[in-house]
Structure 1
Amino acid sequence: MASNKLQINLSATVPENLFDKRLDQCLAVLFPEYSRSKLKEWILAGFVSVDGEKIDTPRLKLKSGEEIVIDAEQEVQVTSEAQHIDLNVVYEDEHILVIDKQAGLVVHPGAGNHDGTLLNALLAKVPEIDQVPRAGIVHRLDKDTTGLMVVAKTLPAQTSLVEQLQARSMGREYEALVMGTMIAGGVIDEPIGRHATKRTAMAVREFGKPAVTHYRVKEKFRAYTHLRLKLESGRTHQIRVHMSHINHPLVGDALYGGRPRLPKNASEHFINALRAFKRQALHAAQLTLMHPVSGEEMTFKAPLPEDFVTLLKDVREDTKINGIDI
């Protein structure tokens, strides 16, 4: 394990409108690119000085014209090796990176996946990202879910993106193929927590964290439905758990859907196509965010991957062959 020291050097003069405000309140206004908790941590650690005097209390009242200096040292742990892995980059500048993640790519190293992850790939593509916690990864997609993810290349960008996620202002839309024919769209508002007996699974739990999923029907088939979904929250496995909860689990989702349900009179070709699709049919199709520095609203779109397009074609053909008019 390597350890990097990230040097933070900031300075500002207290303006008149912040006269008699507390130090922590002033810092939040003067340095909005850093989280309030991080600024308070720096104060308590003695990294902040006012007119040359080190201050370790957030409650100090300030006067206009006083000079604030922050000389902080942040330790960043680098526990993974850089590995060259092809990434589909949708957008990149000096602050953020947006990728269209492929199926099979794990986001973070963990049990059974010590390397070959998105984090390893980011360390190779953007070496300086090792100075950002978790290599700038602020949200994740499951291993076999495809689609859009944004990564912060700097600490201020990470702070902004995390705040957008927490404020639910970052828009994330998905496409999924679920089992059963759904008549109309709707909203699922059910809390999600760790499954009572399955360590790796989540479930709708009475005392879980709030989770809201909106969905609408894009196309109906005789035994399946193509959905567009939008998240208000971002719980682990949220779409997979919510759709299973209303008895419309995602096609290919062995964890939450159980054994594949084959429709009656399905052709051998269609049965083989379903069995060959060995992942959940879920794709992060659209991502909307405010750029951490410019404040510009940005929307990114990613087309369905080839295997998903082929699956929809086979499902559509199955409906046509069986003479069902949806």
Structure 2
Amino acid sequence: MAQHLELNSTVNENQLGQRLDQAIAELFPDYSRSRIKEWILADKVTVDGEMVNKPRLKMMGGESITVQAEIEDEVRWEAQDIPLNIVYEDDDIFVINKQRGLVVHPGAGCPDGTVLNGLLHIYPQIAEVPRAGIVHRLDKDTTGLMVVAKNVPTQTRLVRALQKRKKFTREYEAIAMGKMTGGGTIEKSIGRHSTKRTQMAVQELGKPAITHYRVVEHFRAHTRLRVRLETGRTHQIRVHMAYLNHPLIGDHLYGGRPRPPSKAGETLIKTLRAFDRQALHAAMLRIEHPTTKEVMEWHAPIPDDMVNLTEVLRADAKEFEDLNY
């Protein structure tokens, strides 16, 4: 049975000159460009209230877009036996401690082998919930906690709580390049990078994004942070830290390439070069349970690669402190 879909948004001013299908693909990144083009040609898209079937129509910015379409059963994903570390489960939710290297949701270039496919295997009924109950995502190489809804009412309540920034708290452990003097708040909108399609960037006309951070530990040329998200934009922490000129260690997409401090020992140099993912871990999740209304909190241990990195950075800092550098 087909699932009815209605999407509404407004074209950003920085999308001036984009084709209609390109603009809609950026506004609704969960749907492929080819699918969006099909909807436009099938008279499923209105621009400022008028039906438009020209994918190449140029946008001026500020147009109101409505998509009313149907998704057929063939878009249902395959259940796959993928190990998932479930740290909590009840009748309404799963809480998962996601490992590195695991994509959350199928998409372009990754049709399967995701958290979603694993969820369908362990709980087939979740196929009846949009996106198999996924409420929020973690990047492929970001580890840590995420909550999944087991039914539609639960998903609706969790998404609403997330959107209203109420009773849904996510804290991350991170290690950034450079020595940061103190904590603070970054309130800079984020949108798709103007020329690099795989990247996001701070953009004045992007979606509002707020990140709070505090310094946990200083090293010689790096800083360990605790970060709390108030919004949840794609790559938000990574983009905001890079904007401050303090990209995360290992985040090659946003400039976190190895930069050993002066006179660094061989162990530190090798450790930094070998760290091949962004140093980011979703360490704490706190929500109001959507059914019981109980406030619940989970903590995920820092993964071994980040623990080792921290210990090596700490040993380096202590060595140079003892030498009075």
- Which category describes the TM-score, using the shorter chain as reference length? 0.7 to 0.9
Q: Percent identity?
A: 61
Structure 1 segment 103-142 matched on structure 2, within 5 A: 103-142=100-139
Q: How far does residue 77 in structure 1 lie from its aligned partner after superposition? A: 6.2
Of 216-225 and 313-322, deviating more is 313-322
Q: Greater CA deviation, 280-289 or 75-84?
A: 75-84
Deviation digits for residues 201-246 of structure 1, max 9, x if unmatched? 0000010111111000111111110000111111100000000001
Q: Does residue 283 of structure 1 match 2:281?
A: yes
1:94 corresponds to which residue?
91
Following superposition, the deviation at residue 111 of structure 1 comes to 2.1
Matches within 5 A, 1:1-326: 3=1, 78-169=75-166, 170-323=168-321
The normalised TM-score by structure 2 is 0.76
CA distance in 2, matches of 1:237, 1:126: 29
- The answer as to whether partners of 2:176 and 2:224 remain within 8 angstroms in 1 is yes
Deviation (angstroms), 1:79: 2.5
Structure 1 residues 75 and 97: CA distance shift in structure 2, 3 A: farther
Aligned residue for 2:321, secondary structure, equals coil
Per-residue CA shift, 1:50-89, capped at 9, x if unaligned?
A: xxxxxxxxxxxxxxxxxxxxxxxx9866532111111111
Q: Is the 8 A contact 1:4 1:131 kept in 2?
A: no
Amino acid at match of 2:232: G
Aligned residues: 257
Closer/same/farther in 2, CA of residues 253 and 5 from structure 1, 3 Å limit: closer
Shifted more, 313-322 versus 120-129: the winner is: 313-322
Deviations 1:123-179 (A, max 9, x none): 001100000000000100000000000000000010011001111111111110001
Contact 2:171/2:229 (CA < 8 Å) preserved in 1? yes
Quote the RMSD (CA, aligned, Å): 1.9
Shift of 1:5: 8.0
The offset of 1:323, in angstroms, is 2.6
Question: Contact (CA 8 Å) 2:260, 2:268: kept in 1 or not?
Answer: no
Q: 1:260 Cα deviation (Å)? A: 2.1
Aligned partners of 1:78 and 1:130 also within 8 Å: no
Unaligned regions of 5+ residues in structure 2, if any? 5-70
Structure 2: which amino acid aligns with 1:152?
A: A
Q: Partners in 1 of 2:157 and 2:72 — Cα distance?
A: 20
Unaligned residue ranges in structure 1 (runs of 5+)? 7-73
CA contact (8 A) 2:177 2:256 kept: no
Corresponding residue for residue 55 of structure 1: none
- The structure-2 alpha-carbon separation of the partners of 1:298 and 1:258, relative to structure 1 and needing over 3 Å to count, comes to closer
Instruction: Give the AA of the match of 2:231.
Output: S
Contact between 2:214 and 2:225, CA under 8 Å: does it hold in 1?
A: yes
Q: CA offset at residue 321 of structure 1? A: 2.1
Question: SS in structure 1 opposite 2:254?
Answer: helix
1:167 & 1:301 partners in 2: Cα distance?
A: 23
- Structure of greater Rg: 1
Q: SS state of the match for residue 322, structure 1?
A: helix
